[in-house]
Amino acid sequence: MPIGFKIHPRTRTVDAAIVEKFKAIAVANISDSMSRMVHGGPRLRPMHAGGVLCGVALTVKARPGDNLMVHAALNRVKPGDVIVVDAGGDLTNAILGELMLSHAQQVGCAGVIVNGAVRDFGWIKANSFPVFAAGVTHRGPYKSGPGEVNCTIAIDGMVIEPGDLIVGDDDGFVCVPYDLTEKVFAAADKKQQGEAKTMVAIKAGTVDRSWVERELEKAGCEGL
């Protein structure tokens, strides 16, 4: 039996109610609430027309330039899943395009993230189905494997386990580990509410920026 060529079972998934709560939280606030230590990489940008990505990770480890295991994941995707593909960040061959993305959308997939390239960019940017990728190329993929489905992957150091929560917006995407979703939501929601109050003060011209001067003084800045 070949090593690195396997479809694993997914043993846990974030609850749908938790996914729904996170849809209203900005990725930046989630990231800040996780000590700014996790990031999906600055290269992976939203390619679609706009809208929030939020769902449960269905992970794929693919050989760069090959999408056989992405097809395997498509056959196993459940409504609300986000297919997260680590294709090594290679941009030589597109991992998927309009046909596969249309099928993913049809079966209820919440979105697709590819650490690699996509094609049919015209279709992607004209539609709201969430697609994040590192680049675009017209050259198509091979379909011979190997690879794995529902395995641990890492994108720019951010570890993603099957069943983790994935949230994406115009700033990029982030993974919230399964065991931390409630704790992270509480912190991110509190931060977002605080920012909303600050915005009200900004518009009213009453925002308090005295903290800046206190920090400068604490740091020993001259010329105050």
Specify binding-site residues for Mg(2+): 120
Contact 25, 166 (CB under 8 A): no
Whether cis (ω within 30° of 0) applies to the bond prior to 146 is yes
Domains present along the chain, CATH in parentheses: 6-187 (3.50.30.40)
With a CB cutoff of 8 Å and minimum separation 6, the contacts of 57 are 81, 82, 84, 160, 161, 162, 163, 164, 165, 166, 175
Give dist(CA 103, CA 100) in Å, integer. Answer: 5
Cα distances (angstroms) measured from residue 14 to each of 38, 70, 71: 19, 21, 23
Tell me the pLDDT tens digit for each residue of 64-121: 999 999 999 999 999 999 999 999 999 999 999 999 999 999 999 999 999 999 999 9
pLDDT at 186: 98
Confidence (pTM): 0.94
Specify binding-site residues for substrate: 97-100, 119
Going by pLDDT thresholds of 50, 70 and 90, the confidence category of residue 176 is: very high
Specify binding-site residues: 97-100, 119-120
